[in-house]
Amino acid sequence: MAQYNFKSVGKTTTQQLSEELTQTTLPIGIKTPLRLGSNDILDMNYSLADQVHDNLRNLLLTNWGERLGFYDFGGNLRPLTTEFTTQEDFDTAAIERIKNAVSRWMSYVDLENFLSEIDRTENKNTGIIRITVTYNVPALEIRDKRLQITLYVL
């Protein structure tokens, strides 16, 4: 008759490897703005929802001509701040530019709502425009996610 101690019984190599793979998650993309993460490696996005949010923010804040090889990439919203006359004109142009950029470069995103706020507390000739966009990503089951970007009026 053989006697065994339960502490000496372990897991097979296949079981250990499958547990390690399920516990470690692979990064999907780099978070922007760039910053150091753990072990002097850049901070990374580990979920698709975070990566889509980051990509949408970068798309809306990029102006035409800023992306090498893709001249018309971006929302091209900054030129609207130099031509700012009324909030209605700005809103109409901004909605059109955002809709066109998202439909061309991120067609899997469904835009829901647009809200803009103008803050002129420091000076009546300059200001800050905060744009809030609400969106859905049906393929990832993301609902009513909000993105806020800030533009400075010259």
Would residue 126 count as lying in a domain?
yes
Would residue 16 count as lying in a domain?
no
Would residue 67 count as lying in a domain?
yes
Q: What is the mean pLDDT of residues 91-114?
A: 96
Would residue 20 count as lying in a domain?
no
Would residue 26 count as lying in a domain?
no
Number of structural domains (the chain) is 1
Buried b (16+ CB within 10 A) or exposed e, 85-107: eeeeebbebbeebbeebbeebbe
Would residue 140 count as lying in a domain?
yes
pLDDT at 152: 87
Q: What is the pLDDT of residues 103-118, one digit of tens each?
A: 999 999 999 999 999 8
Is the bond preceding residue 33 a cis peptide, omega within 30 degrees? yes
pTM to 2 decimals? 0.79
Would residue 141 count as lying in a domain?
yes
Q: What is the pLDDT of residues 117-150, one digit of tens each?
A: 988 776 666 788 999 999 999 999 999 999 999 9
Domain that holds residue 69: 47-153
CATH number at residue 126: 3.10.450.40
Would residue 25 count as lying in a domain?
no
pLDDT at 82: 84
Does residue 15 or residue 100 have the better pLDDT?
100
Q: What is the pLDDT of residues 17-26, one digit of tens each?
A: 666 656 567 8
